[in-house]
Structure 1
Amino acid sequence: MRPDLILIGVVGRPHGVRGLVRVHSYADDPAALEGFKALVDDQGRNWSLRWRGADGVAELRDAQGQALADRTAAQGVVNTRLYVPRDALPEPEEEEFYHADLIGMEARENGQSLGRVVMVHDYGAGASLELAGGMLVPFTRACVPEIDQANRVLTVIRPVEVAGEEGRGVGSPKTPEPSA
């Protein structure tokens, strides 16, 4: 896979019998997927997309402009990842980052490497960075005060809840004080 490609969506299950599919968009505005000149998959095939209804139902067309013919053809592209070139995306606002820009960065705390960012999770309550080895770090200014994109390094200050014993895992539970 080309390193300049950014994952923008994934093809889901077929919808109906006429070749339509559900597409899960990773764009802030799913309508933006229609505006890209070409979406590229893992095999280097170019696609265009047109939304056809609510709930992410879309028509995919190949580079020759042919839509998926039927449900069988739609089933054949389930789980296809759709990418766009990085330069086709707008530059993020200040203090905003594309996940792809963070993945692979080295995380350092007090000059010591904690590993590289392998995944960015965001389940709605705020993003967290998963480092190699499984450590999760809240992606907040307090925990990640500095990001050096040019050198692909970010500074981490782990809160006590993340640091834990010997710098790993979750902190130990407190022993309750006896009541008087």
Structure 2
Amino acid sequence: MRADLIQIGVVGRPHGVRGLVHVHSHAADASALEAYRVLVDDKGREWSLRWRGADGVAELRDAQGTPLADRTAAQALVNTRLFVPRDALPEPEEEEFYHADLIGMEARESDCSLGQVVMVHDYGGGASLELTGGVLVPFTRACVPEIDLKGRVVTIVRPVEVSGEEGRGVGAAKAAGPAA
């Protein structure tokens, strides 16, 4: 997979018998997927997309402009990830980041490495960063006060309830606790 590609969506279940599919968009505005001239899948195949319904139903066409022939062809694409070249995306606003930029960054608390960011989760109540070992850190300015994209390092200040185990560089913060 090319390093300059950013995942923008994933193909879901077929819709009907004429080759339409449900597409789950990762874009803030799902209509943006139609504006990209070329979407690239996991296998390097190129696709274009046209929305065919308000509920995420789309028609995919291959590089030659041929739509999927039938339900069987649509079923074969279920769970296929769709990507766009990074340079086709707008630059994020200040204080905004693409998940792909954060994943793989080293997470540091003081002078202690906590591992890497392995996933960015957002279940509707605010984003969180999952670090190596399964530690989740709220993606807020208080918990992630600094992001150095060029240096590939995020600074972490974990609240007591997600500090983790003793001996991982955060024992003093955990032991201190709130004043009584």
TM-score (normalised: structure 2): 0.92
The alignment covers a number of residue pairs equal to 172
**Unpaired runs of at least 5, structure 2:** 169-173, 176-180
The structure 1 segments of at least 4 consecutive aligned residues displaced by more than 2 Å after TM superposition are none
Match of 2:119 in 1: 119
> How big is the shift at 1:157?
0.4
User: Residue in 1 aligned with 2:84?
Assistant: 84
Match of 2:93 in 1: 93
Shift of 1:130: 0.4
The one-letter code of the counterpart of 1:146 is E
Taking the aligned partners of 1:152 and 1:164, their CA distance within structure 2 comes to 23
Percent identity of paired positions between Structure 1 and Structure 2: 80
Q: Does the residue aligned with 2:28 lie in a helix, a strand or coil?
A: coil
Tell me how far 1:19 sits from its aligned partner: 0.4
Deviation at 1:111, TM superposition (A): 1.3
Deviation digits for residues 3-51 of structure 1, max 9, x if unmatched?
A: 1100000000000000000000000000000010100001100000000
Classify the secondary structure of the residue corresponding to 2:124: coil
Q: Quick one: which amino acid aligns to residue 94 of structure 1?
A: E
Q: Say if 1:21 and 1:41 are closer, same or farther in 2 by CA, change over 3 A.
A: same
Give me the whole-angstrom Cα distance separating, in 2, the residues matched to 1:2 and 1:94.
26
Aligned-residue Cα RMSD (Å) equals: 1.7
Paired with 2:113 and 2:104, the residues of 1 have a C-alpha distance of: 13
The 3 A distance-change label for structure 1 pair 165 and 73 is closer
Q: 1:115-163: per-residue Cα shift (whole Å, max 9, x none)?
A: 0000000000000000111111110000000001110001000111111
1:158 counterpart residue number: 158
Gaps of 5+ in 1: 173-180
2:53 is aligned with 1:62: no
Closer, same or farther in 2 for the Cα pair 1:71/1:34, shift >3 Å? same
Distance change (3 Å), C-alpha of 1:93 and 1:17: same
Identify the residue that residue 29 of structure 2 maps to in structure 1: 29
SS of the residue 1:151 aligns to: coil
- Offset at residue 78 of structure 1 (A): 0.8
Cα-to-partner distance string for 1:88-118 (whole Å, 9 max, x where unaligned): 0000000000000000000000111000000
Aligned partner of 2:105 in structure 1 is 105
User: What SS does the aligned partner of 1:166 have?
Assistant: coil
Task: Tell me whether 159-168 or 9-18 shows the greater mean CA deviation.
Answer: 159-168
Output the amino acid matched with 2:42.
D
Whether 2:11 is the aligned partner of 1:11: answer yes
User: What amino acid is the match of 1:70?
Assistant: D
Quick one: structure 1 residues 81 and 164, their matched pair in 2 at CA, closer, same or farther if it must change by over 3 Å? Answer: closer
